[in-house]
Amino acid sequence: MKGGGYYMCGRFSLTVPIEEIIKLFVLANGDELDYVISYNIAPSQNVFSIISDGEKNRGGYLQWGLVPSWADNPSIGYKMINAQAETIDEKASFKNLLKRRRCIIVADGFYEWQKNQNGNKKPFRITRKDNRLLAFAGLWDRWEKEGTILHTCTIITTKPNEIMKDIHDRMPVILPEEAQKIWLDRTVQDSTYLKQLLTLYPAENMTAYEVSLLVNSPKNNQVECIQSLA
């Protein structure tokens, strides 16, 4: 997949030390994690995610591209890297997961491609102004068939805020800290209430800058991907 712009949220980065993630999300299994940074995370790759085991938060990797437990073929995951917040409680693939299988996908920035008048696309990286971590709202599921087991996820998207609207018409749902605990709380199963958490992240807390065309290919995974062209 090249360019990333076909998707609503199709590429991001996670380059911070694992200690920062463990501290922020109070992970119970921090000593067990096999963590690898990445400057250019793409669909079908494993993404660092957080779920609750009912008592404590646990970190680990899920494959990006949701394969519902009832799916006949895991290839459906390539079409399900994102879920729209507006209809998440209506779609068969997502509505039950909203109640019982929610996760946070951790990032420190995400990429989106802006079309110009000539039809060309320029990649931008979007981060928090304070460079703190982003907590994408996500859903996950477990698929098993003929001895193969997959744990997969999707990132929930919403309409763009003021920072994003001139770049792309969608953006990932970024959960503020007060909403993160609720999102991971397995005892909360009210879909209407949960959907209310999927709000726009404040544009005044974000920044966007143009980056190299290197990010167009997921084969490129180096620090130059996140560096500003300015």
Q: Which residues, in sequence order, are CB contacts of 100 under 8 Å at separation 6+?
A: 186, 189
pLDDT, one tens digit per residue, over 144-155 is 998 999 999 999
For residue 94, give the nearest of 74, 75, 69, 115 by alpha carbon.
Answer: 69
**Cα–Cα distance measured from residue 1 to residue 219, given in angstroms and rounded to the nearest whole number:** 10
Does the pLDDT at position 230 exceed 90?
A: no
pLDDT at 2: 36
Q: Model pTM?
A: 0.94
The fold adopted by the segment(s) 12-226 is hypothetical protein yedk fold (3.90.1680)
Q: Which residues are catalytic?
A: 9, 112
Any idea of the CA torsion for 93, 95, 98, 99, to the nearest 10 degrees? Answer: -130
- What are the extents of the domains in the chain? 12-226
Does the pLDDT at position 28 exceed 90?
A: yes
* pLDDT, mean over the chain: 93
Mean pLDDT on 117-125: 88
pLDDT at 3: 37
pLDDT at 105: 98
Mean pLDDT on 85-104: 94
